[in-house]
Amino acid sequence: MEFSYRCTVCNASYDITPNHTVCPVCTKHQQKDQPLTGVLEVELKGTLDKEFTVFDLLPVEPEYFPPIPVGNSPLWEPENIRRTTGFKRLFIKDDGSNPTSSFKDRASFLVSAAAKKFGIKDITLASTGNAGSSMAGIGAAAGQRITLFLPENAPAAKLVQALQYGATVHRVNGNYDMAYDMSLEFTRHKGGINRNTAYNPLTIEGKKTVSLELVNQLGRAPDVLFVSVGDGCILSGIYKGFRDLKKLGRIDSVPKIVGVQAETSDALFRAFTSGKFTNIPTSTVADSICVDVPRNGVHALSQLKQFNGEMVTVSDTEIIQAQASLSSSTGLFTEPAGAAAFAGFQKIASTLDSNDVVVVLTTGNGLKDSTSAALGIQVPENLINSVEEIL
Ligand SMILES: *Cc1c(COP(=O)(O)O)cnc(C)c1O
């Protein structure tokens, strides 16, 4: 297999080197407060053996990947939900089972391997939480130095997790956008690789592995897949995986992808409906999908349009209820951003064919943010002194 970068806007080709991030030509037209323009994507050329592993379709050779078991996340068959909804072929792909408990490990894994291949030890990024703790954990396994710029409102567990893994963490007195700009400035001064989402094309490429696994696990592509959306990199990665398999003749068509956002953080949904990106300050209980300007918005939007995708929004109340109902009916405890995908399925299930193979992707473990999860349950207030009191 041969790999190169291709600009998703102007189609220019570039070699895969650490110096190439966004397209140097298109980025000259980058406007402030707009999604990234000139996002690069990996283009592959070649043929695939009958039995394939995800490494066959990745642009870095297997020997460079650190010794930490990323991916191969389990595909759940939730009997109780299948019964109550009538969707007999509903599956949940649980990416909270990754080593650092979120989907972000798929991207960090490939970025870490590329850094090793290029002989680079320093990796820097800005993150609202999961990408940072993920890069820190994968970097720990690889022996790499991770520098993380974290906005002040990141959940405590994600900060603690990154520090546990030994990352250098700079807490930014401001939001994600400020952290993002600072991390780029830091990389310009210090060198090394920047893993900012979408800015580093390998973040999207690493995320495609979920689609490859799904096709291996199901023996086919799903009919419909639900995924929560913040910056739109997971969404684009999912499309990329299915597009690669279609190009290689392994599946017939790209499935329908439904992107789910919070009502109060719905930048991609608004652009999907109106055609243009507008910047409105956001807030949602699902911190991992709380994004003002979706970094990969342009690329994500064009794929949604091209492959007949859909966008839906759900309220914070629906997210919190979906989280608790998923936990109590399946044993799968996912963070609010993961539960948003399930809430999206519940919201539009009546418009789907219940014979379809439907996959809901849960992207992070519920323990990442126990404060939000506590909103959906009742914590007993009174302490008891004897069993008699409760009999
Ligand atoms: C990052 C993240 C998302 C959203 O991914 P984007 O690429 O930003 O759209 C969803 N869920 C979890 C748990 C995440 O960490």
How confident is the model at residue 111, as a pLDDT? 98
pLDDT of the residue at 95: 98
Sorted by where each begins, the domain ranges of the chain are: 75-101+203-376
Please give the order of strands across the beta sheet that includes 193-194. Answer: 168-172, 145-151, 122-126, 193-194
How far is Cα 147 from Cα 274, in angstroms, rounded to an integer? 38
Fold of 75-101+203-376: Rossmann fold (3.40.50)
Nearest CA to ligand 1 atom 14: 288
253 closest CA partner among 204, 205, 213, 309: 309
Backbone angles phi, psi at 165, to 5 degrees: -75, -5
Map the chain to HEC letters: CEEEEEECCCCCEECCCCCCCCCCCHHHHCCCCCCCCCCEEEEEECCCCCCCCHHHHCCCCHHHCCCCCCCCCCEECCHHHHHHHCCCCEEEEEHHHCCCCECCHHHHHHHHHHHHHHCCCEEEEECCCHHHHHHHHHHHHHCCEEEEEEECCCCHHHHHHHHHCCCEEEEECCCHHHHHHHHHHHHHHHCCEECCECCEHHHHHHHCHHHHHHHHHHCCCCCEEEEECCCCHHHHHHHHHHHHHHHCCCCCCCCEEEEEEECCECHHHHHHHHCCCCCCCCCCCCHHHCCCCCCCHHHHHHHHHHCCCEEEEECHHHHHHHHHHHHHHHCCCECHHHHHHHHHHHHHHHHCCCCCCEEEEECEEHHHHHHHHHHHCCCCCCCCCCCHHHC
pTM, entire model: 0.97
Q: Which amino acid is at 331?
A: G
pLDDT tens, N- to C-terminus, the chain (391 residues)? 999 999 999 999 999 999 899 999 999 999 988 999 999 999 999 998 778 899 999 999 999 999 999 999 999 999 999 999 999 999 999 999 999 999 999 999 999 999 999 999 999 999 988 999 999 999 999 999 999 999 988 888 989 999 999 999 999 998 888 999 999 999 999 999 999 999 999 999 999 999 999 999 999 999 999 999 999 999 999 999 999 999 999 999 999 999 999 999 999 999 999 999 999 988 999 989 999 999 999 999 999 999 999 999 999 999 999 999 999 999 999 999 999 999 999 999 999 999 999 999 999 999 998 899 999 999 999 999 999 999 9
37, 57, 312, 314, 335 from 341: Cα distances, Å? 27, 27, 10, 9, 11
Distance 270 CA to ligand 1 centre (A): 18
Cα 130 to ligand 1 centroid, rounded to whole Å = 8
Which residue lies with its CA nearest to atom 1 of ligand 1?
A: 288
pLDDT at position 128: 85
Ligand 1: does its nearest atom lie under 6 Å from the Cβ of 368? no
pLDDT at 177: 83
State residue 65's pLDDT score.
Answer: 98
Q: What is the best residue among 130, 196, 210, 257 to mutate for testing ligand 1's pocket, by most ligand atoms within 8 Å of CB? A: 130
Whether 41 lines ligand 1, by a CB cut-off of 6 Å, is: no
Q: How far is the CA of 234 from the centre of ligand 1 (A)?
A: 6
The CA distances from residue 256 to 193, 239, 311, in Å, are 34, 10, 11
In the prediction, which pLDDT does 320 show?
A: 98
Any idea which residue has 């499935």 for tokens? 255
Residue 337 Cβ contacting ligand 1 at under 6 Å: yes
pLDDT reported for residue 250 = 94
Nearest CA to 96 among 85, 88, 104, 107?
104
Q: Is 339 in the pocket of ligand 1 (CB under 6 A)?
A: no
| Residue 68 Cα to ligand 1 middle (Å) | 21
